[in-house]
Structure 1
Amino acid sequence: MSRGFEDRAADWIRFARAEGHDAYWAYRDAFFELLPPPPARALEVGCGEGRVTRDLRGRGYEVTGLDVAPTLVEAARDADPSGTYVVGDAAALPFDDASFDLVVSYNSLIDVDDMPAAVTEAGRVLRSGGCFCACVPHPFSEAGEFTSNDADAAFIVECSYLQEADYELVSERNGIVFHFVSRRFPLESYARALEGAGLAIEALREPPLPGVDRHRRMRMPLFLLWRTVKLETRRPD
């Protein structure tokens, strides 16, 4: 995972740019509602081909998109020539302390080599009072699965929710195929990383699937969203 999606860049570009294809299009508004309002100098960590950064720029934020995969960064630049996109490692951000008002991570913490280090770096580059906002696959939802696609299907957890674990998933729909290789974390792992980075949880959301009346995702959230704020560092007396 050290090179992100570099070996699957073409597949990810096809996946991410098929409007309405994946859950991003249904859940992005719930995520954007958590963000502090613009203007703000923002960094997106794990920007991929740039769709979140483009959406943020369209909403008035001044955004730098960062990804470890050079091919995806190039694709992001091609799609948004006036934007700012850089190649970099989430666990060693190439920016000074307190450089940003907002750091955003949309489903990228599951794909970095060292999640706690990435969270620590997000905290480092934030100014005091700045926000780190993230979306991650819901920890409990990722630990199990529904027995069918029925709205009232049972949800079964056979492994241990409490253990971190690597997993693979192949999405194949409408002729678009993408191979995910990611890592699942329990909520405590995320909470400990945030605590260690001096980031206090200010808002937490578990949005149901929008726009439907009867669906299994009305009972079990697909994503966990949060807004954290960087605490002021007190100097020793």
Structure 2
Amino acid sequence: MGTIPKARYDGLADWYEERFVQDAPPHQPGLLDLLGPGTGPCLDIGCGTGRNFETIRATGRSVVGLDYSRDQLRVARTRTDGPLMVGDAAALPFADGSFDTAMVMWISTDVEDFGRVLHEATRVLRPGGLLVAYGVHPCFNGPHTLWNEDGSRLVHPSYTESGWHHAAPYWAADGIRRRIGMNHLPLAAYLNAFLATGLVLERFEEPGEGVPHKLAVRARRAG
């Protein structure tokens, strides 16, 4: 059996935790409402250091976490006694119809093929199962976007350049994108990736205030 190549986030878990998680509110904006109450295990795809485990438990579900980075999972283990595993979001190690709920959190920019990730997430859902995808807003967050101090955004023509970007002049020198790059999908490509799964799309949200930083989707596997 071959070894899993080093994950992009390996070696960054402690820095990531300090920078983005440890002082953050317990629930990301709107996520509790998008999930709604439920039972049984919820697969957190791209769980990172476990930022959303408390939210999952607050809905009545239990945590199953998957991430490609062993380093991230090392920190996530401090937040749950439930199953955590190293795995590829584009090739999930679960049988068809294994879960009533799955979450795809903040990974559209970190994987090579987001459409394939959505297909896999759909596959492991039972008929009628719930999928919540939550993460970067394709229009206002990416290699094309300059963040101004007043909260406004300046969008450059590179918005149309889909695919992997390893550098952008507008990225913060101490930010995550300078460290690992970013895979950009324009909005139409992002939404079409959901349509291609056959999911029944229930709701779109732009959580937070001001110019949207996040885009969230609530959908179900067809019964």
TM-score range for the pair, normalised by the shorter chain length:
0.7 to 0.9
Does the aligned pair in 2 maintain the 1:2–1:112 contact within 8 Å?
A: no
2: CA distance, partners of 1:208 / 1:10: 26
2: CA distance, partners of 1:18 / 1:172: 18
**How far does residue 34 in structure 1 lie from its aligned partner after superposition?**
0.9
Quote the residue 1:140 is aligned against.
Answer: 139
Q: Which amino acid aligns with 2:131?
A: F
Tell me whether 1:116 sits opposite 2:115 in the alignment: yes
The 5-angstrom pairing of residues 215-234 of structure 1 reads 218=210, 220-232=211-223
2: CA distance, partners of 1:2 / 1:197: 29
Quote the residue 2:103 is aligned against.
Answer: 104
**How far does residue 114 in structure 1 lie from its aligned partner after superposition?**
1.8
2: CA distance, partners of 1:223 / 1:177: 16
Work out which of the two has the higher radius of gyration on C-alpha atoms and give 1 or 2: 1
2: CA distance, partners of 1:112 / 1:73: 17
Quote the residue 2:11 is aligned against.
Answer: 7
Larger mean CA deviation between 223-232 and 160-169 belongs to 160-169
Query: What TM-score do you get using the length of structure 2 for normalisation?
Result: 0.84
2: CA distance, partners of 1:95 / 1:145: 40
Does the aligned pair in 2 maintain the 1:103–1:132 contact within 8 Å?
A: yes
The 5-angstrom pairing of residues 1-237 of structure 1 reads 3-20=7-24, 25=25, 28-80=28-80, 82-142=81-141, 143-146=144-147, 148-150=148-150, 153=152, 155-167=153-165, 168=167, 169-170=171-172, 172=174, 179-209=179-209, 218=210, 220-232=211-223
Cα distance per residue 1:196-229 (max 9 Å; x no partner): 22212110011342xxxxxxxx2x2111111011
**How far does residue 159 in structure 1 lie from its aligned partner after superposition?**
1.9
Alignment gaps of 5+ in structure 1:
210-217, 233-237
**How far does residue 104 in structure 1 lie from its aligned partner after superposition?**
0.5
2: CA distance, partners of 1:120 / 1:159: 30
**How far does residue 2 in structure 1 lie from its aligned partner after superposition?**
6.7
Cα distance per residue 1:65-121 (max 9 Å; x no partner): 0001112212212332x2221110000100010001111022122111221111110
Does the aligned pair in 1 maintain the 2:27–2:52 contact within 8 Å?
A: no
Q: Which amino acid aligns with 1:156?
A: L
RMSD: 2.6
2: CA distance, partners of 1:150 / 1:11: 27
Alignment gaps of 5+ in structure 2:
none
Cα distance per residue 1:31-70 (max 9 Å; x no partner): 2211132214210000111111233124421120000111
Does the aligned pair in 2 maintain the 1:15–1:177 contact within 8 Å?
A: no
**How far does residue 26 in structure 1 lie from its aligned partner after superposition?**
8.8
Larger mean CA deviation between 199-208 and 10-19 belongs to 10-19
Q: Structure 1 residues 201, 124: closer, same or farther in 2, change over 3 A?
A: same
2: CA distance, partners of 1:13 / 1:204: 28
Does the aligned pair in 2 maintain the 1:170–1:180 contact within 8 Å?
A: no
**How far does residue 122 in structure 1 lie from its aligned partner after superposition?**
0.2
1: CA distance, partners of 2:122 / 2:96: 9
Query: What TM-score do you get using the length of structure 1 for normalisation?
Result: 0.79
Larger mean CA deviation between 123-132 and 48-57 belongs to 48-57
Q: Structure 1 residues 42, 104: closer, same or farther in 2, change over 3 A?
A: same
1: CA distance, partners of 2:163 / 2:213: 18
